Structure 1
């Protein structure tokens, strides 16, 4: 990688409180961030997940590993601080990765989580203008 810098990618996904849905939604979020930003897993430093208190069926970091993704990455999950009126059933992520300087980060808000950051929501295949 030529002139790389460290970026922070944000993302979130809503899901049901069951192991299968948490696993599939976290894999979908991972794929959207990695593919959407054209980065290799080798360029990723860490994935830090936060989970709303109503999602307790599975740990998103463990489910990502079960999917065969992120096996060599630093993955960490924490409980989201509860707040009045917060969107329920949400897994958020902050990804630290290296990418070519000048790349515009493509954040991923999926399955209803677009409501959290409509200014950053990008449909697959579309760039913010």
Structure 2
């Protein structure tokens, strides 16, 4: 079992922005790591306190992850933190070594992890 991190900054607190950003993030994590829905054990999503229009996990359900345990939570409201940010922590079943995994930071959230290859 391994864990993969990811984040994306969305344009605003609308249902459409949250669903689109969440779907883009989940899809990128799966594609960049050669994973399928069957490889996912669970996903924890967080959203910054300024994103409340929709649950990020609903986007994963719309992508077909209907039997994967998903949970949403609010990110800690740290002063000066990046706004409008969705994050995920995916637990996956993979034979890959930790060093082979690709964490995914998209759009403005790429600034959170400048040490990772995009």
1:19-47 CA-partner distances (Å, limit 9, x unpaired): 11111111110110001100121011011
Question: Which of 26, 31, 37 pairs up with 1:30?
Answer: 26
2:81 is matched with which residue? 86
Shift of 1:108: 0.6
Distance 2:56 2:41 in 1: 17
- RMSD over aligned CA atoms reads 1.2
1:113 counterpart = 2:113: no
Cα distance between partner residues in 2 of 1:50 and 1:99: 23
Q: Tell me the TM-score normalized by structure 1.
A: 0.85
Once the two structures are superposed, the pairs formed by residues 1-129 of structure 1 within 5 Å of their partners are 6-15=1-10, 16-65=12-61, 67-102=62-97, 104-120=100-116, 122-123=117-118
Distance 1:60 1:35 in 2: 19
Q: What residue ranges of structure 2 are gaps of 5+ in the alignment?
A: none
Question: Is the CA contact (8 Å cut-off) linking 1:49 and 1:76 kept in structure 2?
Answer: yes
Which has the larger helix fraction? 2
The TM-score, its normalising length taken from structure 2, stands at: 0.92
* Structure 1 portions without partners, runs of 5+: 1-5, 124-129
Equivalent residue pairs, number:
116
Q: Distance in 2 between matches of 1:12 and 1:30?
A: 9
Q: Distance in 2 between matches of 1:63 and 1:27?
A: 5
Q: What secondary structure is seen at the aligned counterpart in 1 of 2:94?
A: strand
